[in-house]
Structure 1
């Protein structure tokens, strides 16, 4: 070949067989999941510090919040919750301590809760915190409001028998569940803010 001749790649010849169609999930074909979770669009588009602050309200681990925020945008709520779970499973001891230290015992009963039950609840929370050094966490999402007090008291009684290592594992699982609930609730609030 002479030095003045240019080399070019041959142009592809038309193939008699059409390439396979790309598989697009049905959800993507029917429209954005933002219609189902409009708050997700706001979360995905938020500046990094705002997204991190949003997540810290759901789980007070800086490492967890940073990790979940860095993986934005999320195509749907399920992907966001899966990322939150994965980051939760990867919390180191110091990260878990940080998140647990920020938690407070939330259940205070309703207006018709007997005083004796509230006294028992406060005593059980105090015993739990004295033994384990952090607030008692329990996801009540699967229970009706009228079952909450019984579930909290039963959970406290049962978990007070755990050794500290076992309870850290249980508390970490409850923290992951609560973070999922808080993310879902907070996205709902963003929808109407």
Structure 2
């Protein structure tokens, strides 16, 4: 069986992938964007300095490694830049009061904001998950909680970095911008 003539290839204009934009953005712009993912200058400098990344998995692996290498001072700086997760708009005021009280107790015990990764939690379960986690983690000793908080920061950074890549858009200059609401 013979085939007919092949149609000419249809070429689309080149649209940079989010990782391409991340890899080629100016270092100072990239560091500033990375600070939205984790409030650590050391972490953001390290991630920006090791570009280009061949794929998102390599970027996430580097982000994890840099997060694991944070010193206690770096961790304290990163925690100082965090605040309580936002609650869904329809959360009852009693839930806000319970969360405020639990968070105050947590901050009094550990000296920093409570951090938790909620990326995979359905919106209707957020408040319960936060309150449950705060109450549970209040029983930790300070060293155990430092390790837990560091792991939650690492998970937050990964989630924010993925959101940044998903929401990144190339501007006229090819620079990347954070996803809306980040």
Structure 2-normalised TM-score?
0.82
Instruction: Work out whether 1:73 is the aligned partner of 2:52.
Output: yes
Report 1 or 2 for greater relative contact order, CA contacts < 8 Å, sequence distance ≥ 6.
Answer: 2
Structure 1-normalised TM-score?
0.77
**Any unmatched runs of 5+ in structure 1?**
1-33
Kept in 1: contact 2:88–2:123 (CA 8 A) = no
**Candidates 172, 181, 187, aligned match of 2:150:** 172
**Candidates 127, 139, 162, aligned match of 2:105:** 127
Instruction: Work out whether 1:160 is the aligned partner of 2:138.
Output: yes
* Greater radius of gyration (CA): 1
**Any unmatched runs of 5+ in structure 2?**
1-13, 171-176, 178-182
* RMSD between superposed Cα atoms in Å: 1.7
Q: Deviations over 1:141-165 (max 9, x none)?
A: 1211111111000000000111111
- Residue 94 of structure 1 deviates from its aligned partner by 0.8
Task: Measure the CA separation in 1 of the matches of 2:19 and 2:28.
Answer: 16
**Candidates 137, 144, 154, aligned match of 2:122:** 144
Q: Which residue of 1 aligns with 2:75?
A: 96
**Candidates 126, 146, 159, aligned match of 1:181:** 159
Q: Which residue of 2 aligns with 1:20?
A: none
Task: Measure the CA separation in 1 of the matches of 2:88 and 2:157.
Answer: 23
Kept in 1: contact 2:38–2:157 (CA 8 A) = yes
Equivalent residues, number? 158
Task: Measure the CA separation in 1 of the matches of 2:34 and 2:78.
Answer: 12
